[in-house]
Amino acid sequence: MKILLVDDETELSDPLSKILLQEGYEVDIANDGAVGMKLALQHQYDLLILDWMLPAKSGLEICREVRSQFLATPVLFLTAKDTVDDRVAGLDAGADDYLMKPFELRELLARVRALLRRSTLEGFSSDLSSDRLKVADLELDIVNQVAYRQGKAINLSEKEIELLKYFMQHPDRLLTHTEIYSYLWQTEEEPSSNVLAALVRLLRRKIEIKGQAQLIHTVYGKGYRFGVS
């Protein structure tokens, strides 16, 4: 997931970008509104984090311009403005969420996860919501909660089904640990880091066949890629 952070306070943007990178996100930084607007319009981001008050262009102007270009990228405002009129102006401009300065880091990360999760779920195409998915010789019957490899049925747990579905909906794409956690544990408290590794290990044992193409590939330190290549 790629995030654009636009804030002129380097004492905030620098450490915040480092933390977001540690969480597995890609981060671009702009320290004035003009550069921020240019980046937001020229590149594809999964989330914009905008300070309200910026040199050259305000966060509000960036948000309005992004929406005028029919871009649905989620926008999170970081602002010291707390009046009802300010919040209404931001929402009318197309903002998705607010966080008042000063803020707790864990709250910001929770809001980032929530906005990215929402945009990911809303962004699925009709093909991705198909009742049956296929990658190579592996098929997943979502309705009946059964996988098949080379025609042989494989019984999976509910979480294994959800993980396999997510993999198969995004073949050959690097899915970061953060993205997978956000998808699998949307309304639950995020488990410890070794839970995902254990779940992937169990899924591998069930769907992979000795001598046949490996499907789940570990990208060390980042996440997983699903596919035959």
Range of 157's domain?
A: 132-226
For residue 77, give the CATH number of its domain. 3.40.50.2300
**Cβ-based burial of 195 (10 A; exposed 0-12, middle 13-18, buried ≥19):** middle
| Structural domain ending residue among the three candidates 66, 91, 122 | 122
Beta strands per DSSP E along 80-215 = 97-100, 132-135, 138-141, 146-149, 152-155, 174-176
- Tell me the one-letter amino acid at 182: S
| Residue 151 CB contacts under 8 Å (≥ 6 apart), including other chains | none
- Could you tell me which of 174, 218, 213 has the C-alpha nearest to residue 196? 218
Dist CA 101 CA 78 (whole Å): 7
14 and 80 share one domain: yes
Residue in the structure block whose two tokens are 């590794």:
197
For residue 163, give the CATH number of its domain. 1.10.10.10
User: Are 26 and 116 a contacting pair, CB within 8 Å?
Assistant: no
**Cα Rg of the chain (Å, integer):** 20
Please give the helix or strand (H or E) that residue 225 lies within, else none.
strand 223-226
138 and 97 share one domain: no
**Cβ-based burial of 147 (10 A; exposed 0-12, middle 13-18, buried ≥19):** buried
In a domain, 127, yes or no: no
In a domain, 100, yes or no: yes
Residue in the structure block whose two tokens are 């649905």:
72
User: Are 94 and 63 a contacting pair, CB within 8 Å?
Assistant: yes
98 and 157 share one domain: no
28 and 116 share one domain: yes
139 and 211 share one domain: yes
Residue in the structure block whose two tokens are 């000063």:
102
Domain count along the chain: 2
For all residues of the chain together, what is the average pLDDT? 85
Residues 76-119: pLDDT tens digits?
998 877 667 777 787 788 888 888 888 888 888 988 988 887 66
| Structural domain ending residue among the three candidates 122, 142, 163 | 122
141 and 109 share one domain: no
Half-sphere exposure of 212 (CA within 13 A, CB side): 14
| Structural domain ending residue among the three candidates 85, 100, 122 | 122
- Full pLDDT tens readout for the chain, 229 residues: 899 999 998 888 889 999 999 888 999 999 999 999 999 988 888 899 999 889 999 999 999 988 887 677 899 998 877 667 777 787 788 888 888 888 888 888 988 988 887 665 554 333 444 578 888 889 998 877 889 988 889 988 889 999 999 999 888 888 999 888 888 887 666 676 688 999 999 999 999 888 777 899 999 989 999 987 6
